[in-house]
Homo-oligomer: A and B are copies of this chain.
Amino acid sequence: MKYDHAQALNKATELFWQKGYQGTKMRDLQEHLDMRPGSIYAGFGSKEALFLQVLDCYVEQSLIKIDEYNRLATHPLEALKDFVSGFIFVEGKLENCKVCLLVKTVSESETSQPKLHAHALLGLQKIEQKFTDLFNQAQQLKLLSQTANTEQLGKWLQMQIMGLVIYSKNCTQQQDITLMIEHIFSTLRQPS
């Protein structure tokens, strides 16, 4: 039975996102992808090579999602806020939140797999750049002070999202997170 490469990659992304790199075993993948070992290796190379492709896939999906939010929103800041909220409240529920795959990878592969670590950092930088782009748009729309440093804002938002998704694992009150998101975005208009 011939498999669909893109579909397999998406399914692998789901699984690695759920279990992390080390926690995902080849036998898990075989089951989740409904593929046998030789096929996985023929199609993707190795566990590590597959994971690098998964990271790329994840980043691309994230950038596409941000663009979608930007298309639907009234303005870029609202898009960013919707993106963050959608990331935390999956299907409206706090308990569905999953730690960002890139963050998970950075943390997990800090010392053990330099290649994965570096690749995840690159992914994070791309997403941060997308944030900065949207802040630039917002600035042109006079939604932000003309003197605000949009790069700094991009970094700040990235850092906040990182904190939010981890913190969400230790939080049962949706209200707490909602307040934090409100606070983050309400203070963005004031340059530091």
**Which of A's residues lie within 8 Å of B, judged by CB?**
18-20, 22-23, 98-99, 103-104, 106-108, 110-112, 117, 121, 124-125, 128, 152, 155-156, 158-164, 166-167, 169-171, 176, 179-180, 183, 187, 192
Contact = CB atoms under 8 A, between A and B. Distances in A.
A174 to B, nearest CB: 13
Contacts of A161: 163
Copies in the complex: 2
Given A106-B170, A163-B166, 4 more contacts: A18-B110, A103-B107, A158-B170, A159-B164
Contacts of A20: 107-108, 110, 112
B167 A158 contact: yes
A163 B166 CA distance: 8
A106 B158 contact: no
Nearest to A23: B112
